[in-house]
Amino acid sequence: MNLRTRLDSTRAPLSWDVIVVGGGPCGAAAAWSLAGRGWRVGLVDRQAFPREKVCGDALLPDALHALRRLALADEVFKAGHRVSSLSIVTPGGRELRVPGEFLTLRREVLDAILHRGAVRAGAEAIQAEAVAVFETGRRVRVEFRSLPPIEARTCILATGAETRLVQAFEGVAPVPPTAIASRRYIRSGHSLDRLMVTYDRGLGPAYAWIFPLGGGWFNVGVGSLWGARLARDHPALFDRFTALCPEARAVMAAGEASGPLRSAPLRCGLDERVLRPGRLCLAAGELAASTFPFTGEGIGKALETGLLAAEAVGGFLSGDERGLEAYGPAVRQLEPKYRAYHAAHRLLNHPRLMELAAWRLNRSPWLAARLAAVLREEEDPRALFSVSGLLTSFFR
């Protein structure tokens, strides 16, 4: 009996231990963790997988670490393209290269792998659009546009930048998106062996990237603050970038675009107010603004907050009435990293200081090693993205 038949054949809402709304990296990670422990998990998404997703398609070390916890790293690495260097271009045009372990993979492929992993672990996929989530006594009820409602003992909301469902909870007012990013796929004969992110002042208050995907494909994109004038004209910003940046010019000159420029909002910086919208519901991933400022990287912390939410829900389902309360403090332990990336982002308002930092990073093996360790999340980023960290490098 399939899911729709089961839903239609009973008057009472079908029940699970936990409903995860949102089948992207965050939701899939949470569903994988809980289903793997034997809990009945419904994994809801309005789209079928694989499905297109606007993203930079780059996986930094924190995402790779989370994928190893999910036992999916081998499958992802097999499908992806390995890159061993990240290049950051300052507003003044100074290029800083940082070695590391990076991977690029189209989100439609990555998300499909994660979703399949959750289903293999035992989660039941539900393709439907959730229109309302509310608590009734000791249960959570999820209502759909095209299916009868379902109930669960608890719920994890992982709907990305879409905040509609969480706004229905009393007292929850998520911050609006903080940035907007746009990307285009280019197939090109140009060779590039590193990830590139540029904050060149010629772009104005914006940033841009070129990420090689392997097989001659590139993800080329631009981003700006939400509500800024540039956000309303990303096609022009994209054209400016591909004319201004030598590597972007070379990629475009030797290739052709596949499909239009596509855009999506970003929620950056960690929004603690939505972590627990109700007594029985948790919010994770980009819904809780888990994307990093400065880099716009969000997959790693989406996975990590999904796993943290699953840990709290697992405790609650096992009989710990206060289990869900552990989630907020666990996520707050990530705050120092967000404050550090906020500090790095503020450097963009001080070009001379940023140029000095880049100059020192290119000349100080000690400082360069600290940056690589920060990207691997082996060192507190506050020690690097600070004036004291910069001054210390002169004595190392």
Q: In Å, how far are 37, 115, 291, 335 from 63, measured between CA atoms?
A: 22, 16, 12, 17
Cα 44 to chain center, whole Å?
18
Q: Distance between the two ends of the chain, CA-based, in angstroms? A: 67
H or E stretch covering 224:
strand 217-225
- The structure's pTM equals 0.90
- Say if residue 176 is exposed, middle or buried (CB neighbours under 10 Å; 0-12, 13-18, 19+): exposed
CA distance 221 to 55: 9
Q: What is the pLDDT along the chain (396 residues), one digit of tens a residue?
A: 456 555 555 544 567 999 999 999 999 999 999 999 999 999 999 999 999 999 999 999 999 999 999 999 999 999 999 999 999 898 888 888 888 899 999 999 999 999 999 999 999 999 999 999 999 889 999 999 989 999 999 999 999 999 999 988 888 888 888 889 999 999 999 999 999 999 988 888 889 999 999 999 999 999 988 766 655 689 999 999 999 999 999 999 999 999 899 999 999 889 988 999 999 999 999 999 999 887 788 999 999 999 999 999 999 999 999 999 999 999 999 888 877 777 776 666 667 777 777 777 777 777 777 777 777 777 766 666 655 555 554 545
- Give dist(CA 5, CA 44) in Å, integer: 17
Q: Count the neighbouring beta carbons within 10 Å of the beta carbon of residue 84.
A: 11
| CA max distance for the chain | 73
d(CA 206, CA 200): 8
What local confidence, expressed as pLDDT, does residue 337 receive? 80
pLDDT of residue 157: 98
Residue 106 buriedness (CB in 10 A; 0-12 / 13-18 / 19+): buried
Q: Which two tokens stand for residue 371?
A: 């940056």
CA count, 13 A, side-chain hemisphere, 76: 31
CA distance 191 to 253: 12
Which pLDDT tens digit goes with each residue over 45-63?
A: 999 999 999 999 999 999 9
Q: What is the per-residue burial (b if ≥16 Cβ within 10 Å, else e) of 149-175?
A: ebbbbbbbbbbbbbbebbeebeebebe
**In this structure, are residues 100 and 65 in contact, taking their beta carbons and an 8 Å threshold?**
no
Q: How far apart are CA 314 and CA 297, in angstroms?
A: 27
Distance separating alpha carbons of residues 145 and 147, to the nearest angstrom = 6
Report cis status (omega within 30 of 0) of the bond before 50.
yes
The DSSP code for 340 is H
> Which domains does the chain show, CATH number per domain?
3-53+109-176+268-332 (3.50.50.60), 83-101+179-266 (3.30.9.10), 349-395 (no CATH)
At residue 168's C-alpha, the angle toward residues 166 and 173, to 5°, is 65
For 43, phi then psi, to 5°, come to -110, 110
| Cβ-contact 140, 155 below 8 angstroms | yes
Residues 380/340, Cβ–Cβ less than 8 Å: yes
Helices 365-375 & 351-363 angle (0-180, nearest 10): 100
Helix (H, G, I), strand (E, B) or coil at 297: coil
Q: Which of 128, 160, 132 is nearest to 146 (CA)?
A: 128
pLDDT recorded at residue 65: 93
| Dihedral (CA of 303, 305, 308, 312) sign | negative
Which pLDDT does position 1 carry in this prediction?
A: 47
